[in-house]
Structure 1
Amino acid sequence: LVDAEKCTAHLKSVPGISSISVGNSIEPDFDKIASLGIDLIQEKLESLGQLKFCVRTRRSNKSFPITSKEFDFEVGARIMEALSSKGLSVDINRADFILEVEIGPQETIVFDNRVSGLCGLPVGSSGQVLSLLSGGIDSPVSTFKLMTRGCRVHSVFFDNRTFLGRGGYDKVVRLAQVLNRYQGGGKLFVVPFEDIQVAIRDNCHDINRVVLYRRMMYRIAQALAQLNNCHGLVTGESVGQVASQTLKNLAAVSCVTPMSVFRPLI
């Protein structure tokens, strides 16, 4: 059980999984499944005093001679016969306890503990992209959203510690490590950006600085993406999130690269 709980905790962090259940393998026999159901329900029933339940059966083995509804009825009737006097009732739509039965070609699994997963698509099934990762909240959220849509997301951080110190770099390294828990194999590229930033600061109008910084970042990100077989860029930009993220400014930044730019927060 401890190993099962550990596996469940890990699987909850894997994109592409709708739900996780720890089940019991058992013969597709009404009495045996009902007996297991009674054992599972009885403990909850004793602590709550009353309980609404239902049985839900799915048959991936279509050659099984009994329909899912018939199986639900036969198992449910046996459980009700044993526990109705103790406060158990049936409610198909608003059950507190759902006994689920999966009848497959090799074995039948019974479980009651369906845990929601991240859903989405398996990482890597949609290809690779490169995320412009910063120390804020927007770019990590955008990165995570692309992971759950089947992308393996690598990241690039433009390091300007001359202006901001080492704190930004350390924070991005920690963020990349956290994000990699959901995919594994994601790379973090760190690009020294201070020389470019100084050149723009010293030779361009103040009003254009931020847009010019972003244009250079996009150019560098595109080159990195092409070298690493990535088919798009990911950013945490959102219209109006900050003063520089207007529609015109976003267009001025995007036009420097022919690559697709994914902005999940817009």
Structure 2
Amino acid sequence: MTETEILLIKNGELALKGLNRSTFEDALMRNLRRRLNKIGKFDLRLAQSTIYIEPTAPTADLTAAAEAVSKVFGIAAFSRARVAEKDIDAIGDAAVDYLADTLRFVSTFKVETKRADKTFPLSSPEISREIGGRILSAFPHLRVDVHTPDVTVFVEIRDFGAYVHADQLPGAGGMPVGTGGRCGILISGGIDSPVAAYMMAKRGVELFGIHFASPPYTSERAEQKVVDLLEQVAQFAGRMTLCVVPFTHIQEQIREKCPEEYFTLIMRRFMMRLACRIAADNDCGALVTGESVGQVASQTIPAIACTDALATLPVFRPVIGMDKEEIVQLSRKIGTFDISIQPFEDCCTVFTPRHPCTRPKRQHLEKAEEALSVDALVEEALSGLRYIKIQ
């Protein structure tokens, strides 16, 4: 009896894509290969809406592979499975041996069979009854419960062989990264923007990071914090580039020449001008921000409208209607929260006005901006861009 263990990957929404399905499946296969290449040597095959991942070297770590697979968007569920010959005795032996540690510690079970290979001589119900009987003989403390079993034993009869596994593990869901276009994500060191990045990546969007730095008011450690955040997001979103925008002179000019109550709003309008230019120059079709209505003074609807007035690309705000606690919970889930709360200031907290305007009028901001050399400041910032590769 073979003791080969593999991963069986079930596609998510990809099954609904009709004639475009192969495009999405190809993207998912590319993303999986890229992740698994860092872990070891694996053979990947796609057939019958299932991806088979098999180690091809003794050093290939299937546990590490399963952890990596759990973070790849486009996967509904996956399982660690034992490969067996397409013979009822071999399948029964595999079920008893492979799932022994699970079956010893539960009280009830059932067997579900998927017979994709219709040349197999037994029907799905016959296979389930046969394997269930063998399990009961090996573990007499068990009883069958077809409605609410403690564990379900799955038997799959496919073209490549037979596979036995227990309950499936949930995948990351969503769509394969790269199938939903490319967006520039305005990334700060806070809690919200990494969550927004994750949510867009889940819809298949490739990310391009844009970060505004204001040294010496912000430190090198603050920039490293942003890199750390994107490296964590990259566990789900894949590799990306971070563009660091020099923002010090712009902020100093706003502080010197504009009313204090408008500081944050004018700053964010500059961010929008710059981000749209940078995103367009890097083949992005839209921008993404971590704004949530009413969370801070610059995120009221009038304030957002004043910022959006300068946008030359669509602006997506995936956390716009979420409570702060909902955002925090998701940040904990994806592993960015502990990085976000590190005490390093970003440019959004530099020169914060004592009494920020919450209901601005666009014409008032435009009037205040007349004191600034807006075009020159934008071009100066664009001339000093730096790029960091995020793996």
* TM-score, normalisation: structure 2: 0.63
Q: Say if 2:97 is the partner of 1:39.
A: yes
> 1:1-266 residue pairs with structure 2 within 5 A?
3-46=61-104, 48=105, 50-62=106-118, 64=120, 66-83=122-139, 86-112=140-166, 114-266=168-320
Give 5+ residue unaligned stretches, structure 2: 6-59, 321-391
Letter of the 1:226 partner, please give it.
A
Q: Deviation at 1:56? A: 1.6
Deviation at 1:31, TM superposition (A): 2.8
The Cα shift of 1:231 comes to 0.9
1:105 and 1:145, CA in 2 relative to 1: closer, same or farther beyond 3 A?
same
Quote the offset at 1:41 in angstroms.
Answer: 4.2
Task: Indicate the larger mover: 137-146 or 93-102.
Answer: 93-102
Which stretch shifts more, 92-101 or 61-70?
61-70
Give 1:70 deviation, angstroms: 3.6
Q: Which moved more, 1:139-148 or 1:29-38?
A: 29-38
Q: What is the Cα-based RMSD across aligned positions, in Å?
A: 2.0
SS in 2 for 1:144: helix
Q: 2: distance between equivalents of 1:117 and 1:161?
A: 41
Alignment partners' CA distance in 1, 2:64 and 2:167: 14
Cα distance, 1:259–1:68 mapped onto 2, change above 3 Å: farther
- Give the secondary structure class of the aligned counterpart of 2:131: helix
Q: 1:253 to 1:42 in 2, by over 3 A?
A: same
Query: How far apart are the structure 2 equivalents of 1:128 and 1:62?
Result: 42
Aligned length: 262
Shift of 1:81: 4.1
Measured against aligned partners, the alpha-carbon deviations of 1:90-112 in whole angstroms (never above 9, x if no partner) come to 12232222211222223222122
**CA distance 1:262–1:28, shift in 2 (3 Å):** same
Q: Deviations over 1:110-136 (max 9, x none)?
A: 122532221111110111111000000
Separation in 2 of the partners of 1:82 and 1:163? 69
Contact 1:25 1:110 in 2 (8 A): yes
Q: 1:39-85 CA distances to partner (integer Å, 9 max, x unpaired)?
A: 24443444x3x5211112223335555443343233223322443xx
**1: distance between equivalents of 2:127 and 2:238?**
42
Paired with 1:61 and 1:122, the residues of 2 have a C-alpha distance of 28
CA deviation digits over 1:112-165, x for unaligned, max 9? 253222111111011111100000010001001111110111101000123233
- What is the rounded CA distance, in whole Å, between the counterparts of 1:93 and 1:187 in structure 2? 49
Q: Which SS does the other structure have where 1:129 is aligned?
A: strand
Unaligned runs of 5+ in 1: none
CA distance 1:234–1:99, shift in 2 (3 Å) = same
